[in-house]
Structure 1
Amino acid sequence: MSGPAVDGGADHLGLRGQILPRWVPLAVAAGAVVVSLLIYLLTPVDSEIQIVLMSALFFVIAMTAVSTAVEGGRRARDRFATTLVYGAFLLAVIPLVAVLASVISKGAGRLDGAFFTHSMNGIGARDVGGGIYHAIIGTVEQVLLASVLAVPFGLLVAIYLVEYGRGRVSRVISFFVDVLTGLPSIIAGLFILAFWVLALDQGFSGFAGALALAVLMIPTVVRSAEEMLKLVPNELREAGYALGVPQWRTILRVVVPTALPGIVTGVMLAVARVAGETAPVLLTVFGTNLINSNPFSGEQSSLPLYIYSQAGQPQQFAVDRAWAAALVLIIIIMVLNLIARLFAGRNRLR
């Protein structure tokens, strides 16, 4: 009786093994950084990115070796996989942080009251002043119009595919949604330019730009809403049917509210995608330095067009305005995401 128990305890201890103290990964990371800096000082390596990559590589090799020697191969493999996961996370976050830091450092200095309340009307290439008031109005109106057009249509298509779609019609719709998902943005702009602006002779306007942006938003809204609706448990639908509730009312009062947070997230992804598009609005809105608050008449500006035009000028004043406008565009998208999160949280089905 005692023999098997002792053996079992020994096997358990063998599987457990020794565990490295918590300070060991920090010490190994510091050593990897020191070795990388020595290589930087003694060799022609002069890139900060190369130093970071070498430090990461040395850390992975050293940590795996130390863990294998002390903890055994099983824990070493676990630490190796964990290190790769954290490394992939850092590789994904570092570019985002670098972009945000660059935009904030180069654009924050130009933000002031005049920048938000003035347009570029009467501002020459070498003038210091000017603002983005006309561009903000254009971006907000064009994105809102595109959302009004794309979100209800995309949501209805997603509901049809999930709740009603069967057979060839559903497969054809899914095929065209997949085609639109990979559609280059300039193709959407060319389509609206040829159809709305030239063929129908409607002229350049903010609404024409909103049509092009809506074409780009629809597939993202459809796919995100479709996936969220598929995640709603069938038991909720069956409970509504068992109570005698019609299918359309079950979808409206149970299925859609349950999937609403995910749907709103998908809509925000679509908004974030089209808010920074330049090619479609360049072909359909055309751009202007004047304030035009009517998206249905006349040329209009937008923040992407403003950034494109200012960044292409050789004067440093114009480049500074472009960085500031880019920062404002990021802030607008973040505010829209925050509002959407709050809206989804308040309307979550309990």
Structure 2
Amino acid sequence: MNQAAINPQEPIVPMNKVYRKRLFRHRMGIAMSVLAMSLGLAVLAWILITLIINGFSALSVNMFTESTPAPGSEGGGLANAIFGSFMIVGLSTLVSTPIGILAGMYLAEYGNENKLAAVTRFVTDIMLSAPSIVIGMFVWAAYVATTNHYSGYAGSIALALIAVPVVVRTTDNMLRLVPSSLLEAAFALGAPRWKVAMTVRLRAVKAGVITGVLLAVARISGETAPLLFTALNNQFFSKDMNGPMANLPVVIYGFAMSPYDNWRELAWGGALLVTFSVLALNIISRTMFSQKIPN
């Protein structure tokens, strides 16, 4: 027997040019992917570190208990803006959640049976990609210009229009993950279609649907452009949703460009508060989704 044929140090199959070319492309692709990821993480870390360094210095009890200061005055806080954002985002969530879930259930149940569902899915995709400033201008023309005043209600309508398509698509995608055997078992017991959709299909993916709602809330929490055209701002603490209402995104936008040091400091603090709120919502949603995946 030829000794070279059984020598373990010699390759059994020689490396040809095609294999070497593919291996080179593979390694180049991996290297470029790692480089792009590293650059993205570096920029993100730079932004977060800058935000933390400048924002933590503004955190104080006054920021949560006092309203925004007048121009040139010292002190002040963001209590009115925090409360206004909570009211506007909360109302938009209450409006968008049932509409989005019901529309997502309709698409999941009848999406392949009629043209209305196809049109609904098409409109939802358009709204997902629509710039938020366009939605703000639409609400301004349809509501603010009609009532002749800015209001928290107008801001909630604008944010609800942004949140609804997110909830619709998430609900639709999650409901389609439910195994058909589970639905067939429910139908075999004589349950009507609406009851199967509500008590079987929706319950099986409730964690994923809640995740979609939380992601929608995180999506609208930092929107500034729609609120500039709808809720505008209010220097004072106000509970009246039918009038101009302070909110964190608009206050941050205005204070960040001001010549006053305490206003810019409050803008950093508000930005840090919004960032960590959105981060907390994303962590909660990811955790819930990873723990409860339908089998």
Q: What interval of TM-score do these two structures reach, taking the shorter chain for normalisation?
A: 0.7 to 0.9
**Greater C-alpha Rg:** 1
Deviates more, 1:339-348 or 1:272-281: 339-348
Shift of 1:89: 2.4
Q: CA offsets per residue over residues 253-276 of structure 1, 9 Å max, x none?
A: 332233333333332332222111
Q: Distance in 2 between matches of 1:269 and 1:12?
A: 56
User: Is 1:114 equivalent to 2:62 in the alignment?
Assistant: yes
| Counterparts of residues 33-72 of structure 1 (less than 5 Å) | none
Q: Distance in 2 between matches of 1:96 and 1:225?
A: 30
Q: Distance in 1 between matches of 2:141 and 2:47?
A: 36
Out of 102, 109, 116, the residue aligned to residue 163 of structure 1 is 109
Matched-pair contact (CA < 8 Å) for 1:257–1:349: no
1:171–1:16 distance in 2 versus 1, CA, 3 Å: same
> What's the counterpart of residue 280 of structure 2?
335
Q: Secondary structure at the match of 1:290?
A: coil
User: Is 1:154 equivalent to 2:100 in the alignment?
Assistant: yes
Out of 203, 208, 221, the residue aligned to residue 149 of structure 2 is 203
Q: Distance in 2 between matches of 1:8 and 1:221?
A: 64
> What's the counterpart of residue 36 of structure 2?
88
Is the helix fraction higher in 1 or 2? 1
> What's the counterpart of residue 243 of structure 1?
189
TM-score w.r.t. the length of structure 2 is 0.86
Q: Which runs of 5+ in 1 are unaligned?
A: 18-71
Q: CA offsets per residue over residues 44-87 of structure 1, 9 Å max, x none?
A: xxxxxxxxxxxxxxxxxxxxxxxxxxxx7776655444333322
TM-score w.r.t. the length of structure 1 is 0.73
Matched-pair contact (CA < 8 Å) for 2:71–2:260: yes
Query: Counterpart of 1:155 in structure 2: which amino acid?
Result: I
Query: Counterpart of 1:183 in structure 2: which amino acid?
Result: A
Q: Distance in 2 between matches of 1:340 and 1:192?
A: 29
User: Is 1:255 equivalent to 2:201 in the alignment?
Assistant: yes
Q: CA RMSD in A?
A: 3.0
> What's the counterpart of residue 243 of structure 2?
298
Q: Distance in 2 between matches of 1:10 and 1:109?
A: 66
Out of 126, 129, 144, the residue aligned to residue 179 of structure 1 is 126
Matched-pair contact (CA < 8 Å) for 2:215–2:281: no
Query: Counterpart of 2:234 in structure 1: which amino acid?
Result: T
Q: Distance in 2 between matches of 1:280 and 1:260?
A: 30
Out of 96, 99, 107, the residue aligned to residue 47 of structure 2 is 99
Matched-pair contact (CA < 8 Å) for 2:177–2:294: no
Q: CA offsets per residue over residues 120-177 of structure 1, 9 Å max, x none?
A: 2xx3323331111111111111111111111211111111111123222112212221
1:348–1:14 distance in 2 versus 1, CA, 3 Å: closer
Query: Counterpart of 1:100 in structure 2: which amino acid?
Result: L
Q: Distance in 1 between matches of 2:294 and 2:170?
A: 19
Shift of 1:298: 2.1
Name the % identity: 33
1:144–1:124 distance in 2 versus 1, CA, 3 Å: closer
Matched-pair contact (CA < 8 Å) for 1:257–1:348: no
Q: Distance in 2 between matches of 1:237 and 1:12?
A: 58
Out of 308, 311, 326, the residue aligned to residue 256 of structure 2 is 311
Q: CA offsets per residue over residues 10-69 of structure 1, 9 Å max, x none?
A: 59965799xxxxxxxxxxxxxxxxxxxxxxxxxxxxxxxxxxxxxxxxxxxxxxxxxxxx
Matched-pair contact (CA < 8 Å) for 2:215–2:285: no
**Number of aligned residues:** 291
Q: CA offsets per residue over residues 283-310 of structure 1, 9 Å max, x none?
A: 1112111111342x32211000110110
Out of 265, 283, 287, the residue aligned to residue 320 of structure 1 is 265
Out of 175, 184, 188, the residue aligned to residue 229 of structure 1 is 175
Q: Which runs of 5+ in 2 are unaligned?
A: none
Shift of 1:228: 1.8
